Amino acid sequence: MIGIIDYGMGNLFSVSKALERMEVPYTIGERPEEILNCDGYILPGVGAFPDAMKALKEHGFIDFIKQKVDNQVPIYGICLGMQLLFEQSEEGGLTDGLGLFPGKIVRFSGEDEKGQTYKVPHMGWNQLELHGKSHSLMQNVGEEYVYFVHSYVVDTKSEDILFATADYHKTVPAIVGNNNLVASQFHPEKSGRAGIQLLENFCKRMVKQ
């Protein structure tokens, strides 16, 4: 059973519909006690980082998520849900994140190294560049195009957590992971075959039903 963490800032409809198409059982919880004993969890996210951290705290999910990670329960963060797993974000002033991955969330500058401006947010299809990591999440995932929508991007010096990157005027961490904690900056449920493969790998390879 997959537990979808509902703290009021996630696109639950598209994620739940993707799980239904894969015939993966799931439940949605607004409080930890509603999804206490699931086999794995998805942390979606849409919106601003400070609001999301505040909502996670109000719903009682901060300690819950950290405890599940400590207990090696699989968790998959999506988009803002991925960014929340890092140490800090500069969005709306410096805000502490969950601190489960090393790194900081910064805004795309909108200007490249040659002084040319580019569009922010990064929105649309972009190709993955795989980093050759051997992990069950990445089984049968190739250098395919996936769908991004974000104005802020992970800045991390820890290359060991990078499963895949993309290029949007700078290197964009696209898929990150460490043992049972994984995440993608793009929306897998909106990313065609590659995205569905990632969700299937998480739900059917990483999560012990």
Residues recognised as catalytic: 79, 187, 189
CA geometry: angle at 188 spanning 80 and 170, to 5°?
60
Q: Which of 58, 62, 68, 61 is nearest to 33 (CA)?
A: 61
Instruction: Tell me how long the chain is.
Output: 209
- Which of 110, 104, 94 is CA-nearest to residue 155? 104
Can you tell me the distance from the alpha carbon of 71 to that of 36, in angstroms, rounded to the nearest whole number? Answer: 13
Q: Which segments of the chain are extended strands (E)? A: 2-5, 26-29, 40-43, 75-78, 86-89, 95-96, 101-107, 122-127, 129-130, 145-150, 152-155, 162-167, 171-178, 181-184
Ranges assigned E (strand) in 19-111 = 26-29, 40-43, 75-78, 86-89, 95-96, 101-107
Q: Give the position of tokens 């790998």.
A: 201
